[in-house]
A and B are shown apart, each in its own frame.
Chain A
């Protein structure tokens, strides 16, 4: 099972994503931003970081990298793709997922252990979860506030395409101002998933808040086998 991890200049969690793939028994394949081939991988992770510095708008330049010219049609044809944090931002900029991420409403970077509720356990990256599961993984970002127009939000809700929501204690607000507490979404087909929190930082005992990240990667291994 070969899962590619794209390294853009400024990618930071590519190493961690490759480790997560190896931990669940997959083969991690490094993909280079300047290479327009996916080298026959079975799935792709777009990792966290600040691609090309993200000085313009997160993901806005990465979307035009040569590797994306191969990835976008492959994703449209059903290749499982997971975008984590900056990867999610890139998927939105590429219009593989709707909506956009803007600055956190409090305008500061935030790094914390974050509870999420799994809203859709049928995607390529979430099938090992049960709908309604609550998981704790790492949230860390500066531009993590998910926004979309009302029609898009209704469409996402109506089609069950909200994949993850922040669990918000009563009387509190979600960690970045995301509309409808959305932490992650999927495309209609369920092969493309993007989320702001980081499952790859919750895969080894002692090095993260939980092991809840593992199921993202075990899910995709199964989905590739079953495909």
Chain B
């Protein structure tokens, strides 16, 4: 970049006088027509600083230029009734939901995929840092994080490089911030080999009246940059990394990854909360992707006037940075606030108490422009909306991939299935030891799940549950899910199944689902097949949310997750947030009390397309994913929530990957308490054999453990609501085994050894 930047200051006046100057728009990732449009907006060529600003803000990552036309469906499908609990919707740093008693919760999920592949530790660490700042910028105290992770094959050598770094980075940053990590996912699939997915979710709490927004208004108000100094890290990160497909010489892009300092962020969190409490902040924005370019243009664009910024006032870590680099730097742990002059002194005093550097770098004007000066020269004079909100929009070509017919036609019906009890037992053991179903505590044990003292449930339970109000116990449950094998077979159904599973998990924990955030990870939008997958997935989520009556509050799109012309499976990760009046009543996933009765809720059909069994037993992917029935999901959710509230169930576990067999095994291993199971009646009712009942992945199912004293009430509730339920066994610790009568007896010790050995065998020896 340095080779193409001019060394002399390229001012607005100079730009107006030199229309003929050749500019490096292509190197900065802009297309010819985009560059032409910038010249049209400005009525002259952009200065090099303006070009830098437009190039990062019009990148795919910041502008959503390929996805915007589709994302509109989220708002279009949000009815008035769904908006009832929605305090802040799509478009702000994060959505905000009313959870009752005057409390608001904000949550969002975001990707940090590309940086984490280049530099696993710092990429993952700053992914946590970035999402936490989004939450802070809404006025909230962050209260938890979650990390859905996807890697290449477990036995691939590069996974050994990427995974330990990613996990250590998430732990190193999140643990140092004092935020409990309460869940997420770990998935291995060779489709992620060159494109691991590191998504990060954070949730925060505030009183409704404390919601803050990113806007600069009030002429004469001061614009303050506070937190860390600006350095040379992460320059052009969003445009260079997140918006381009990796090629062979990826290593040359190392400096584009940011470097995190969690201590600086922890202090910044506490400082921000003191600032909010003192009511000295009028508008607030975090500095993330596109750094100062983004913060200044978004604040100004959301406000009612203009903004003037003196860039030479920005405290620098490296005095040799050029103006363009200062504008694009993604140095971490920085925030920007808009403050009334009368409150400036109090603001500065609070910042000093936390040893946080704060500098007035600009002010709100009554003009229409974002004006940036470097010493005496004006280097930027742009309409802020043209940078932040009115970027290019592409209606990219879409086409259903030609391979899909063959893929869907390759049904799993003819795959050899276990024929006896021993075969079923071996299949279950193999699945429980497989990379995607094995115990992940080698990973999750590196995250602090207890800090703050409000964690009521965390991994491996179905949802993470944290208390929001220490007086009443009111709190939230969150789950993130996606089975990208389903989405590969049918992106519309796959996205709805991701939504359904996250919804079910939250309800299984006993919480009423309220809202979702999503992280849409896909390949290159320039591939019509990928664009079709994207559009189908968005349609699936939007229509699914409408059926379930919960709004999309925001999220993130990550495109270009592909190496060469091979894209990842479409991976629309859905995070569902639910609320509970008292999280002390949450339902854990493992049973404890011998004698309790185990019920299976929902019916089972022969549905193996995309299932874990076909992957593990036959390395097969084909057919159609399980049928989606969101009405059934909603009714199941109501039963689980009401049963939790009324104390009818002591444990509940959702059925998903691996079906009933895996759910039974997990619920037994959770507390090391076994069970006796009978399948005959359900097999007869549903017209399936034992193998199908155990391993099919039909949606809309869960198992629950019911205390004997509540059995009548529980079954009466299911009957009254017309929901299929069947008694399939009892909790029984005598044999210390999972005993599926007439089929097999699997000692828990044997099961545990199989389940817990996989990851340590690969990683712990390091």
Interface residues of A (CB under 8 A from B): 9-10, 12-13, 15-16, 19, 48-50, 52-55, 106, 108-112, 138, 140, 142, 198, 200-201, 203-208
Q: Are A10 and B267 in contact (CB under 8 A)?
A: yes
Q: Are A15 and B452 in contact (CB under 8 A)?
A: yes
Q: Are B178 and A49 in contact (CB under 8 A)?
A: yes
For the complex, what is the distance from the CA of A198 to the CA of B584, rounded to whole Å?
21
For the complex, what is the distance from the CA of A12 to the CA of B176, rounded to whole Å?
8
Residue ID in chain B nearest A203 by CB atoms: B453
Q: Are A207 and B451 in contact (CB under 8 A)?
A: no
For the complex, what is the distance from the CA of A9 to the CA of B176, rounded to whole Å?
11
Instruction: Choose one: A9, A53, A110, A198; the contact of B446 (CB below 8 Å).
Output: A110
Instruction: Choose one: A16, A52, A204, A205; the contact of B452 (CB below 8 Å).
Output: A16
Contact mask for chain B residues 156-178; partner A; CB cutoff 8 A; 1 contact, 0 none:
00000000000010011001111
Q: Are B355 and A9 in contact (CB under 8 A)?
A: yes
Instruction: Choose one: A12, A54, A205; the contact of B451 (CB below 8 Å).
Output: A12
Collect the chain A residues with CB atoms within 8 Å of residue B499's CB. Answer: none
Residue picked from A9, A15, A111, A204, most chain B C-beta under 10 Å: A111
Collect the chain A residues with CB atoms within 8 Å of residue B449's CB. Answer: 111
A9 touching B452 in the complex, CB below 8 Å, given contacts A110-B446, A205-B584: no
Residue picked from A10, A48, A204, A206, most chain B C-beta under 10 Å: A206
For the complex, what is the distance from the CA of A140 to the CA of B264, rounded to whole Å?
21
Instruction: Return B120 CB to nearest CB of chain A, in Å.
Output: 14
For the complex, what is the distance from the CA of A203 to the CA of B354, rounded to whole Å?
30
B261 at the interface (CB under 8 A from A): yes
Q: Are B178 and A198 in contact (CB under 8 A)?
A: no
A111 touching B446 in the complex, CB below 8 Å, given contacts A50-B263, A205-B584: yes
A106 touching B764 in the complex, CB below 8 Å, given contacts A10-B263, A53-B263: yes
**Which 3 pairs, one residue from A and one from B, show the smallest C-beta to C-beta distance?**
A53-B263, A12-B178, A16-B453
Q: Are B445 and A10 in contact (CB under 8 A)?
A: no
Q: Are B354 and A204 in contact (CB under 8 A)?
A: no
Q: Are A111 and B447 in contact (CB under 8 A)?
A: yes
B454 at the interface (CB under 8 A from A): yes
For the complex, what is the distance from the CA of A95 to the CA of B339, rounded to whole Å?
45
Instruction: Choose one: B261, B450, B467, B583; the contact of A140 (CB below 8 Å).
Output: B450
Q: Are B263 and A13 in contact (CB under 8 A)?
A: no
For the complex, what is the distance from the CA of A142 to the CA of B447, rounded to whole Å?
11
For the complex, what is the distance from the CA of A16 to the CA of B586, rounded to whole Å?
21
A13 touching B178 in the complex, CB below 8 Å, given contacts A19-B453, A204-B453: yes
For the complex, what is the distance from the CA of A54 to the CA of B446, rounded to whole Å?
18
B455 at the interface (CB under 8 A from A): yes
CB-CB contacts below 8 Å: B561-589 with A = 583-584, 586
For the complex, what is the distance from the CA of A111 to the CA of B449, rounded to whole Å?
7
B262 at the interface (CB under 8 A from A): yes
For the complex, what is the distance from the CA of A167 to the CA of B631, rounded to whole Å?
50
Instruction: Return B472 CB to nearest CB of chain A, in Å.
Output: 14
Residue ID in chain B nearest A110 by CB atoms: B445
Q: Are A208 and B450 in contact (CB under 8 A)?
A: yes
B448 at the interface (CB under 8 A from A): yes
Instruction: Choose one: A9, A15, A108; the contact of B453 (CB below 8 Å).
Output: A15
Collect the chain A residues with CB atoms within 8 Å of residue B452's CB. Answer: 15-16
Pairs across A and B, CB under 8 Å, 15 listed: A9-B267, A10-B263, A12-B178, A15-B452, A15-B453, A19-B470, A49-B178, A109-B172, A110-B445, A111-B446, A140-B175, A142-B175, A206-B583, A207-B454, A208-B450
Instruction: Choose one: B172, B445, B446, B453; the contact of A207 (CB below 8 Å).
Output: B453
B370 at the interface (CB under 8 A from A): no
B456 at the interface (CB under 8 A from A): yes
Q: Are B450 and A198 in contact (CB under 8 A)?
A: yes
Collect the chain B residues with CB atoms within 8 Å of residue A108's CB. Answer: 168, 171, 446
Number of B positions contacting A (CB below 8 A):
35
Instruction: Return A104 CB to nearest CB of chain B, in Å.
Output: 11
Residue picked from B172, B176, B764, most chain A C-beta under 10 Å: B176
13 more A-B contacts (CB under 8 A) besides A9-B263, A50-B263, A200-B453?
A12-B177, A12-B451, A13-B451, A15-B452, A16-B453, A19-B470, A53-B264, A109-B168, A109-B448, A138-B450, A140-B175, A201-B451, A208-B453
Collect the chain A residues with CB atoms within 8 Å of residue B270's CB. Answer: 9
B678 at the interface (CB under 8 A from A): no
For the complex, what is the distance from the CA of A54 to the CA of B263, rounded to whole Å?
8
Collect the chain B residues with CB atoms within 8 Å of residue A106's CB. Answer: 764
Contact mask for chain B residues 421-448; partner A; CB cutoff 8 A; 1 contact, 0 none:
0000000000000000000010001111
Instruction: Return B161 CB to nearest CB of chain A, in Å.
Output: 16
For the complex, what is the distance from the CA of A48 to the CA of B176, rounded to whole Å?
10
B266 at the interface (CB under 8 A from A): yes
Q: Are A16 and B176 in contact (CB under 8 A)?
A: no
Instruction: Choose one: A9, A16, A142, A205; the contact of B266 (CB below 8 Å).
Output: A9
CB-CB contacts below 8 Å: B409-428 with A = none
For the complex, what is the distance from the CA of A142 to the CA of B168, rounded to whole Å?
11
Instruction: Return B22 CB to nearest CB of chain A, in Å.
Output: 45
Contact mask for chain B residues 682-698; partner A; CB cutoff 8 A; 1 contact, 0 none:
00000000000000000
Collect the chain A residues with CB atoms within 8 Å of residue B176's CB. Answer: 10, 12, 50, 53
Q: Are B178 and A9 in contact (CB under 8 A)?
A: no
Collect the chain A residues with CB atoms within 8 Å of residue B448's CB. Answer: 109, 111, 140
Collect the chain A residues with CB atoms within 8 Å of residue B456's CB. Answer: 206-207
Q: Are A207 and B455 in contact (CB under 8 A)?
A: yes
Residue ID in chain B nearest A15 by CB atoms: B452
Instruction: Return A108 CB to nearest CB of chain B, in Å.
Output: 5
Q: Are B266 and A10 in contact (CB under 8 A)?
A: yes
Q: Are A112 and B263 in contact (CB under 8 A)?
A: no
Instruction: Choose one: B175, B446, B447, B451; the contact of A16 (CB below 8 Å).
Output: B451
Instruction: Return A214 CB to nearest CB of chain B, in Å.
Output: 13
Collect the chain A residues with CB atoms within 8 Å of residue B764's CB. Answer: 106
Residue ID in chain B nearest A209 by CB atoms: B450
For the complex, what is the distance from the CA of A142 to the CA of B174, rounded to whole Å?
13
For the complex, what is the distance from the CA of A15 to the CA of B441, rounded to whole Å?
27
Instruction: Return A196 CB to nearest CB of chain B, in Å.
Output: 13
Instruction: Return B271 CB to nearest CB of chain A, in Å.
Output: 10
Residue picked from B263, B264, B449, B454, most chain A C-beta under 10 Å: B263
Instruction: Return A163 CB to nearest CB of chain B, in Å.
Output: 21
For the complex, what is the distance from the CA of A109 to the CA of B173, rounded to whole Å?
11
Q: Are B446 and A109 in contact (CB under 8 A)?
A: yes
For the complex, what is the distance from the CA of A54 to the CA of B262, rounded to whole Å?
11
For the complex, what is the distance from the CA of A142 to the CA of B445, rounded to whole Å?
11
For the complex, what is the distance from the CA of A9 to the CA of B266, rounded to whole Å?
8
Collect the chain A residues with CB atoms within 8 Å of residue B454's CB. Answer: 207
Collect the chain A residues with CB atoms within 8 Å of residue B441's CB. Answer: 112
Instruction: Return B669 CB to nearest CB of chain A, in Å.
Output: 15
For the complex, what is the distance from the CA of A207 to the CA of B354, rounded to whole Å?
30
Q: Are A53 and B262 in contact (CB under 8 A)?
A: yes
Residue ID in chain A nearest B444 by CB atoms: A111
For the complex, what is the distance from the CA of A19 to the CA of B451, rounded to whole Å?
12
Residue picked from A54, A108, A203, most chain B C-beta under 10 Å: A108
For the complex, what is the distance from the CA of A110 to the CA of B764, rounded to whole Å?
12
For the complex, what is the distance from the CA of A200 to the CA of B450, rounded to whole Å?
10
Collect the chain A residues with CB atoms within 8 Å of residue B262's CB. Answer: 50, 53
Q: Are B445 and A112 in contact (CB under 8 A)?
A: yes
A53 touching B178 in the complex, CB below 8 Å, given contacts A9-B266, A111-B446, A111-B449: no
For the complex, what is the distance from the CA of A104 to the CA of B216, rounded to whole Å?
47
Residue ID in chain B nearest A51 by CB atoms: B263
Instruction: Return B180 CB to nearest CB of chain A, in Å.
Output: 10
Collect the chain B residues with CB atoms within 8 Å of residue A203's CB. Answer: 453
For the complex, what is the distance from the CA of A12 to the CA of B455, rounded to whole Å?
15
For the complex, what is the distance from the CA of A111 to the CA of B446, rounded to whole Å?
6
Residue ID in chain A nearest B267 by CB atoms: A9
For the complex, what is the distance from the CA of A198 to the CA of B583, rounded to whole Å?
22
Instruction: Return A204 CB to nearest CB of chain B, in Å.
Output: 7
Residue ID in chain A nearest B764 by CB atoms: A106
For the complex, what is the distance from the CA of A48 to the CA of B178, rounded to whole Å?
10
Instruction: Return A140 CB to nearest CB of chain B, in Å.
Output: 5
Instruction: Return B617 CB to nearest CB of chain A, in Å.
Output: 33
For the complex, what is the distance from the CA of A112 to the CA of B459, rounded to whole Å?
12
Residue ID in chain B nearest A204 by CB atoms: B453
A53 touching B172 in the complex, CB below 8 Å, given contacts A10-B267, A138-B450: no
